[in-house]
Structure 1
């Protein structure tokens, strides 16, 4: 029996969604490791004002929009070229991935920061994401649909187009971006996390942003912290052990 061939465009659309739920599921299995939590377990139920069921529904809505836009984008590109793109060399692919990361970081930093500066956008759009004061893994993409469309979907499309990557490379890029986003919202600081070796933008860094004292800092996501440092919105932190157990990312006072 012949195997069904699935196009890179279809894989690039649906693999990151599968990665999102599988990687989030892994973190939920580790949720009982209280010694590595950035917040005591009880705070999740006290400070977060939406249920996990509501969060799941919200994420699924955003992912439905992502699927629609991705399929439309791939169709337009396919109609224009008429042929399947040739996969570039490894060196070229690495450059494309780096360009895509920089484009996504730049887009998300400025849109994200503006959503905090503009009181109307924050109140009616971005505040939905900040209802998760205590972040957890599968809440990473819990946003207002308009924010999800503008910040993530449009940002992803720009990263794809500007970098010139192929749909196959897009599978790797969007899957990794998904892993990184989930990791930054997981609410845990696990020892040996290899992502912490390469990226300062991590779960503790982003947890600072989700707290009231850090809402005007640490806008960068999902990869680097360069725009925060360049534009003065960088809030450093130290990881301290809580008396009641677990860890806490505490801001360091800046001069």
Structure 2
């Protein structure tokens, strides 16, 4: 039993809940006070280094979400497990947990290799992936700011493949995709907040991804959104130290860069 049962179908929730969660969670970060003592970059850095205005970022994210919603609807329609009465038998909780873990690993695998290739292929980086890196200083609302082709290949196809390989139902997909969205937004929030559970449980967090957006980390820390497994296996893992800035806040400094 889930709270939306009887009101909204699992397929509709799987399509639109991740979009709603994205704007609620990213909007929460946007509405926070400056929190200069917890920022990974100063507000001046954000204004000076980011070359895309916020309205353009919002439009880009909405376009990607439109594509994702369209693909999700088609995917749920084609893979429906409902019986002749229209009822989908849900697997047990342990099986759903296993399916979510499988989906996390599949998504990480897909996104690592596609993301890395977009950096290695000069044409794709220049004409596609560089759009995301126009936000040198990441922030929450810009988490899904990508070129439309990248949004389709990296995020939309990655989500679809994770869903198919794991064998989860649309109801389980609601939980998985909402969690993936929250994690992605948090990885781009640019704030090192005390007690943030994502910073405690995941090595792949906002500071980890901030290194990737820095010049010296551009060819490192490709892994997203859950685990740094593939970075560590393929030698693209760049550890970092968090250093307090005298004027307040933190700076994520790549360890390799500090040794050079």
Give the TM-score category using the shorter length: over 0.9
* Equivalent residue, structure 1, for 2:10: 8
Q: Residue 35 in 1 paired to residue 45 in 2?
A: no
Gaps of 5+ in 1: none
* Secondary structure in 2 matching 1:238: strand
* Equivalent residue, structure 2, for 1:177: 180
* Equivalent residue, structure 2, for 1:58: 60
**1:71-92 Cα shifts (integer Å, max 9, x gaps):** 1111112399764431111110
Q: Residue 240 in 1 paired to residue 260 in 2?
A: no
CA distance in 2, matches of 1:177, 1:73: 18
Contact 2:189 / 2:206 at 8 angstroms: preserved in 1?
A: yes
Contact 2:221 / 2:236 at 8 angstroms: preserved in 1?
A: yes
Map 1:1-255 to 2 at 5 A.
5-78=7-80, 83-253=86-256
Q: CA deviation at 1:30?
A: 2.2
Q: CA deviation at 1:197?
A: 1.9
Superposition RMSD in Å:
1.6
**Structure 1 residues 215 and 92, CA, compared in 2 at 3 Å: closer, same or farther?**
same
Equivalent pairs counted in the alignment come to 253
CA distance in 1, matches of 2:175, 2:194: 25
* Secondary structure in 1 matching 2:144: coil
- In the superposition, the TM-score normalised over structure 1's length comes to 0.96
* Secondary structure in 1 matching 2:113: helix
Q: CA deviation at 1:4?
A: 6.7
Q: CA deviation at 1:126?
A: 0.1
CA distance in 1, matches of 2:161, 2:6: 31
Contact 2:107 / 2:159 at 8 angstroms: preserved in 1?
A: yes
Structure 1 runs (4+) deviating above 6 angstroms are: none
**Structure 1 residues 149 and 143, CA, compared in 2 at 3 Å: closer, same or farther?**
same
Gaps of 5+ in 2: none
